[in-house]
């Protein structure tokens, strides 16, 4: 045997966030603000739908693209909630957004293709792209308060550009693209014809009255693929359910590889998802909105610069004043001040001047965690 493992897999590392969180969770009395999932339980009405599915023996292989009743529900939901027009044949049910993202990259990318992603970026994209032997082309958006500078974007485009990934609201910044950013992306996408993969998993957790989206550019419909998930808005991270939307000929190719990856998605989770889409995430969104306001006020008191997030449940304050890299800062925070934060470097090299804080944790933990961070900052400043 010449090589024991696939070279691409050997080069991939386990998620830094997971390993760092696991490492520091052993610190006694630590408060964790690393977690990217709602602390809330899934609503009873959703759990009841799952129990009913079990009792009605939905325990067999489901169709590989998902149950028709769920796909119909999604079509209705997307029309009503976001004004999108998709046919049931343009929906594939996925394992959270994650298996959908993987299938998109696998179906679209050839070795040498390029994928443009604004930095900082969600951690799962880069390893998947590397696995496909494609090239990640990222550009730093921090000096634009995480918005898109059209010239910077254009500088990334080449004849090999295949996909641009857009995540708004964003993980890790919580920032939402302005209409100007969206229009800039649309102009460039139209001109060059590459796909836009819109990772919309946080689009129901938005603190603005209006979320500008690429989907309003209907001229791009055939180029856009939407990755969606029930994990975040409905506190269903463990149910592993999400979906993809895209033009028929594109989604067909994606569905082919997705079928071989997963066979199908848990029939119980699919039936629960139908009930979930009838529930309203407004209550939790309002809780997050209050927490965000609280955390921003505390950052102001600490004198810690942070671009105000307008969605998701993350804050990405800047720590460059302390002249430490983000991992060193987070290690010190964990081991000396007992507060677990995520090093910004995990979201791209330019994120090394920042830390990610999740306010999806319990309220008391958020308060106490920020108190501990304040103490650390005071000590570092020597006052």
Ligand X SMILES: Cc1ncc(COP(=O)(O)O)c(C=O)c1O
Six-digit token pair at 205? 């957790």
Given the complex with ligand X, which of 37 and 368 has the nearer CB atom? 37
Six-digit token pair at 221? 């419909």
CB of 347 to ligand X, least distance (A): 10
Given the complex with ligand X, which of 166 and 366 has the nearer CB atom? 166
Counting Cβ atoms within 10 Å, is residue 28 exposed (0-12), middle (13-18) or buried (19+)?
Answer: exposed
CB of 13 to ligand X, least distance (A): 17
Give CA–CA dist 214/167, Å, rounded: 11
**In contact, 182 and 210? CB cutoff 8 Å:** no
**First vs last Cα of the chain: how many Å apart?**
61
- Return the residue nearest ligand X (CB atom): 96
Contact status: 171 vs ligand X (CB under 6 A): yes
CB of 33 to ligand X, least distance (A): 15
Determine which residue in the list 167, 213, 326, 350 makes contact with ligand X, applying CB under 6 A: 167
How does strand 355-358 pair with strand 224-229?
A: unpaired
Given the complex with ligand X, which of 189 and 244 has the nearer CB atom? 244
Given the complex with ligand X, which of 234 and 337 has the nearer CB atom? 234
Q: What is the DSSP letter of 148?
A: P
Given the complex with ligand X, which of 181 and 374 has the nearer CB atom? 181
**In contact, 131 and 8? CB cutoff 8 Å:** yes
Q: What is the DSSP letter of 88?
A: G
Contact status: 21 vs ligand X (CB under 6 A): no
Contact status: 199 vs ligand X (CB under 6 A): yes
Given the complex with ligand X, which of 97 and 340 has the nearer CB atom? 97
Counting Cβ atoms within 10 Å, is residue 4 exposed (0-12), middle (13-18) or buried (19+)?
Answer: exposed
Reported residue count of the chain is 383
Contact status: 16 vs ligand X (CB under 6 A): no
Q: Could you give the 3-state DSSP secondary structure of residue 234?
A: coil
Site string for ligand X, 57-96 (x = CB under 6 A): ---------------------------------------x
CB of 27 to ligand X, least distance (A): 23
Given the complex with ligand X, which of 338 and 354 has the nearer CB atom? 354
At residue 228, φ and ψ (nearest 5 deg) are: -135, 160
Contact status: 173 vs ligand X (CB under 6 A): no
**Using CB under 6 A, which residues numbered 225 to 254 contact ligand X?**
229, 231, 237, 242
Site string for ligand X, 111-130 (x = CB under 6 A): -----------x--------
List, as own/partner pairs, every contact residues 320-329 make where C-beta atoms lie below 8 angstroms and the sequence separation is at least 24, other chains included: 320/353, 322/377, 322/380, 325/352, 326/351, 326/352, 326/353, 326/354, 326/355, 327/20, 329/355
Contact status: 97 vs ligand X (CB under 6 A): yes
Helix axes 326-337, 16-25, angle to 10 degrees: 20
CB of 121 to ligand X, least distance (A): 8
Binding residues for ligand X, rule CB under 6 A, total 13
Contact status: 204 vs ligand X (CB under 6 A): no
Q: Which residues contribute to the site for ligand X (CB under 6 A)?
A: 36, 96-98, 122, 167, 171, 199, 201, 229, 231, 237, 242
């Amino acid at each position: 045997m010449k090589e024991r493992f696939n070279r691409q897999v050997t080069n991939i590392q386990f998620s830094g966030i997971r390993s760092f969180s696991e490492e520091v969770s052993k610190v006694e009395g630590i408060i964790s603000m690393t977690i990217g999932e709602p602390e809330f339980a899934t609503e009873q009405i959703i759990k009841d739908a799952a129990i009913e599915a079990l009792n009605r023996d939905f325990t067999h292989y489901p169709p590989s693209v998902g149950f028709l009743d769920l796909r119909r529900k999604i079509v209705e939901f997307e029309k009503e909630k976001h004004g999108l027009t998709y046919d049931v044949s343009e929906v594939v049910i996925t394992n959270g957004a994650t298996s959908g993202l993987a299938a998109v990259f696998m179906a679209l990318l050839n070795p040498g293709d390029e994928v443009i992603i604004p930095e900082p970026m969600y951690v799962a994209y880069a390893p998947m792209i590397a696995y496909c032997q494609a090239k990640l082309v990222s550009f730093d958006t921090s000096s634009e308060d995480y918005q898109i500078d059209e010239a910077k974007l254009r500088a990334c485009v080449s004849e090999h550009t295949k996909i641009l990934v857009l995540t708004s609201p964003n993980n890790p910044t919580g920032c939402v693209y302005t209409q100007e950013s969206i229009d800039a992306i649309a102009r460039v996408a139209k001109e060059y014809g590459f796909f836009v993969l819109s990772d919309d998993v946080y689009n129901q957790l938005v603190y603005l009255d209006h979320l500008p989206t690429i989907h309003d550019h209907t001229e791009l419909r055939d180029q856009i693929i939407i990755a969606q998930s029930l994990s975040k808005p409905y506190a269903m991270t463990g149910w592993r359910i999400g979906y993809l939307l895209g033009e028929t000929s594109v989604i067909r190719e994606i569905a082919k590889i997705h079928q071989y990856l997963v066979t199908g998605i848990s029939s119980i989770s699919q039936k629960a998802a139908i009930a979930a889409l009838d529930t309203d995430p407004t209550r939790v969104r309002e809780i997050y909105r209050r927490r965000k306001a609280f955390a921003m006020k505390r950052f102001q008191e600490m004198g810690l610069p942070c671009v105000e997030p307008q969605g998701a449940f993350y804050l990405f304050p800047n720590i460059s004043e302390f002249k430490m890299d983000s991992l060193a800062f987070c290690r010190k925070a964990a081991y000396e001040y007992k507060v677990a934060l995520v090093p910004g470097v995990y979201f791209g090299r330019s994120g090394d001047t920042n830390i990610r804080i999740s306010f999806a944790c319990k309220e008391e933990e958020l308060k106490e965690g920020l108190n501990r961070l304040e103490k650390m900052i005071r000590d570092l400043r020597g006052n």
